[in-house]
């Protein structure tokens, strides 16, 4: 590929990241303009850009489906009702509320993609915060930290983890036995920071709960039918891909969205136009654009060229490589969404282990179903931890972060890049350090 195209791809990507970090331009506008610049400079055609987007159609469809599903049941006031109940259960204490967010989010994210969980639970946070009299932005940020971290508990908990695990033919049970403990340590690391990073909320306490609003659930019949729809969606998220005829989570989410719109329209609690108008299109456009930007780096061979650099720096030292990769991918993942990052990193890492003679060339085949040499697996495990936990570092590091930012804007506040960074950097570095210690002890000592 022409050198000038690679240079344009690198400069465009770096400029977009800088614009997002400095908040000079809205992140959706910045990424969209960057993607279009690659098309107008002929780095890629519009058709190629659409093809890069289509590679991640499952992620986009999943996000869209869950957004519609949550929005369709908003008129029932179920979210306001649940928010009040959470405050009552927490007895008005900030520390109980923070721990409650950890306890509720963790098991759900173990079986559902973290961004999906944030879509389902984030609408509860603003009304909860309003009733306790605190800012809801830190609570949303905490939910994101827990969602990203607990996604490491199982191979299906985080899309990035699943992508890497699938690439090395890692089974659900193999992942559980080898790597789930690291996910638990990541969640415990977040929990340990609560009294320090969220000190103001931790020390908040309502003197009386009598002044809390007591919202009533509207349209109980519709909500009952909606519960069956949500139950159907959650069940097939878990079992859909193991059926004789596999059903992807994206397809399940879209079917759930269609059923929810049908129910809302037929019961006249809302219109389809209103539901679709309130979908967070900004988040969807951001992801489509970032996939194109990563596609530009991939097409111009920038990413594949980095495998040679890895070979020179690391040689055959798997221990050094694993720890270095964990921190390197973690830092990169803090500014590059982890889903497109691992999509790009998997072939790079495979090429590296072949280049240095640690694996046969057969592992480069897309349909390779054999076992990878056990000695190289810690490299991939380290990449899982780095890509997932690095997403806690900045606002653009993970899909769930962007989803939370969209929810905040819908409720009248912005999660700024600087605000997220204040909480994210300490959590990310602590988690990368504890994960490195786990990888070192678990696989090398």
Check residues 221 and 193 and name the one with the higher pLDDT. Answer: 193
The answer, yes or no, to whether residue 208 has pLDDT greater than 70, is no
Of 130, 139, 143, 136, which is closest to residue 206 (Cα–Cα)? Answer: 130
User: Could you tell me the maximum CA-CA distance found in the chain, to the nearest angstrom?
Assistant: 69
Distance CA 428, CA 393 (A): 5
Rounded to whole angstroms, the Cα distance separating 387 from 342 reads 7
Torsion, Cα of 238, 240, 246, 251 (10° steps): -110
Q: Phi and psi at residue 219, in whole multiples of 5°?
A: 50, 60
Res 258 pLDDT > 90: yes
Q: What is the pLDDT of residue 379?
A: 92
Helices (H), 198-301: 199-202, 220-239, 249-266, 272-277, 281-299
pLDDT tens-digit series, residues 375-384: 899 999 999 9
pLDDT at residue 432, as a whole number = 96
List pLDDT tens digits, range 117-172.
Answer: 787 778 878 887 877 778 899 999 999 999 999 989 988 778 788 778 888 888 77
Given this model, what pLDDT does residue 212 score? Answer: 58
Examine the pLDDT at 327 and tell me if it is beyond 90.
yes
Give the percent of the chain with pLDDT over 70: 92
Q: Tell me the whole-structure pTM to 2 decimals.
A: 0.75
- For residue 1, the model assigns a pLDDT of 47
pLDDT band, very low/low/confident/very high, at 385 (cuts 50, 70, 90) = very high
Task: Work out the mean pLDDT of the chain and round it to a whole number.
Answer: 84
Q: Where does the pLDDT of residue 309 fall: very low under 50, low under 70, confident under 90, or very high at 90 and above? A: confident
For 75-107, what is each residue's pLDDT tens digit?
Answer: 887 766 776 677 677 776 888 888 888 888 888
Confidence of residue 441 (pLDDT cuts 50, 70, 90): very high
Q: Which two tokens stand for residue 160?
A: 């990035």
pLDDT in the model for residue 13: 87
Alpha-carbon gap, residue 285 to 60, rounded angstroms: 9
Is 50 exceeded by the pLDDT of residue 328? yes
Q: What is the mean pLDDT of residues 420-428?
A: 94
Q: How far is CA 424 from CA 92, 160, 391, 392, in A?
A: 26, 19, 9, 5
Q: Say what the pLDDT of residue 369 is.
A: 78
Q: How confident is the model at residue 214 (pLDDT cuts 50, 70, 90)?
A: low
Phi, psi at 188, each rounded to 5°: -65, -35
- pLDDT at residue 330 tops 50: yes
Rounded to an integer, what distance in angstroms lies between the CA atom of residue 45 and that of residue 65? 29
> Is residue 97 a contact partner of residue 90, using CB atoms and an 8 Å limit?
yes
**What average pLDDT does range 58-73 have in this prediction?**
82
> What residue spans of 56-135 are helical by DSSP H?
57-72, 78-89, 94-111, 114-121, 125-132
Q: Is the pLDDT of residue 439 over 80?
A: yes
The pLDDT of residue 53 is 87
Crossing angle (nearest 10°) for helices 94-111 and 114-121: 140
Could you give the C-alpha distances from 363 to 167, 168, 313, in angstroms and in order?
9, 9, 22
Q: What are phi and psi of 93, to 5 degrees?
A: -95, 130
Instruction: For the chain, count helices (H), then strands (E).
Output: 22, 0
Confidence of residue 278 (pLDDT cuts 50, 70, 90): confident
Q: What's the pLDDT band for 437 if we cut at 50, 70, 90?
A: very high
């Amino acid at each position: 590929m022409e050198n000038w195209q690679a240079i344009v791809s690198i400069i465009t990507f770096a400029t977009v990241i800088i614009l997002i970090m400095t908040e000079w331009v809205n992140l959706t506008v910045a990424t969209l303009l960057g993607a279009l610049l690659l098309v107008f400079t002929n780095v890629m055609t519009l058709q190629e850009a659409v093809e890069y987007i289509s590679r991640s159609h499952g992620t986009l469809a999943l996000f869209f489906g869950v957004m519609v599903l949550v929005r369709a049941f908003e008129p029932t006031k179920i979210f306001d009702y649940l928010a009040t109940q959470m405050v009552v259960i927490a007895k008005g204490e900030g520390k109980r509320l923070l721990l409650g967010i950890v306890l509720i989010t963790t098991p759900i994210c173990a079986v559902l993609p973290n961004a999906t969980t944030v879509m389902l639970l984030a609408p509860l946070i603003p009304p909860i915060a309003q009733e306790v009299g605190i800012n809801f932005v830190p609570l949303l940020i905490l939910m994101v930290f827990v969602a990203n971290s607990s996604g490491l508990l199982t191979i299906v908990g985080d899309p990035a983890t699943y992508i890497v695990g699938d690439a090395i033919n890692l089974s659900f049970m193999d992942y559980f036995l080898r790597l789930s403990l690291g996910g638990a340590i990541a969640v415990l690391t977040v929990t340990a920071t609560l009294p320090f990073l969220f000190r103001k909320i931790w020390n908040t306490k309502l003197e009386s709960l009598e002044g809390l609003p007591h919202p009533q659930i509207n349209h109980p019949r519709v909500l009952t039918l909606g519960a069956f729809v949500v139950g159907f969606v959650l069940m097939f998220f878990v079992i859909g891909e193991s059926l004789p005829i596999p059903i992807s989570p994206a397809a399940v989410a879209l079917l759930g969205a269609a059923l929810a719109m049908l129910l809302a329209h037929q019961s006249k609690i809302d219109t389809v136009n209103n539901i679709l108008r309130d979908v967070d299109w900004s988040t969807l456009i951001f992801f489509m654009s970032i996939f194109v930007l990563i596609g530009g780096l991939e097409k111009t061979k920038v990413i594949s060229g980095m495998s040679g650099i890895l070979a020179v720096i690391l040689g055959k030292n798997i221990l050094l490589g694993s720890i270095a990769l964990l921190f390197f991918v973690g830092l990169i993942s803090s500014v590059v969404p982890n889903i497109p990052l691992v999509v790009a990193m998997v072939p790079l890492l495979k090429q590296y282990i072949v280049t240095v003679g640690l694996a046969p060339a057969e592992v480069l085949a897309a349909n390779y179903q054999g076992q990878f040499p056990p000695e190289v697996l810690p490299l991939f495990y380290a990449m899982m931890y780095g890509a997932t936990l690095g997403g806690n570092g900045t606002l653009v590091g993970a899909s769930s972060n962007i989803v939370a930012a969209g929810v905040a804007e819908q409720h009248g506040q912005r999660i700024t890049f600087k605000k997220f960074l204040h909480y994210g950097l300490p959590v990310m570095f602590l988690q990368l350090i504890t994960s490195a210690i786990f990888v070192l002890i678990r696989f090398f000592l």
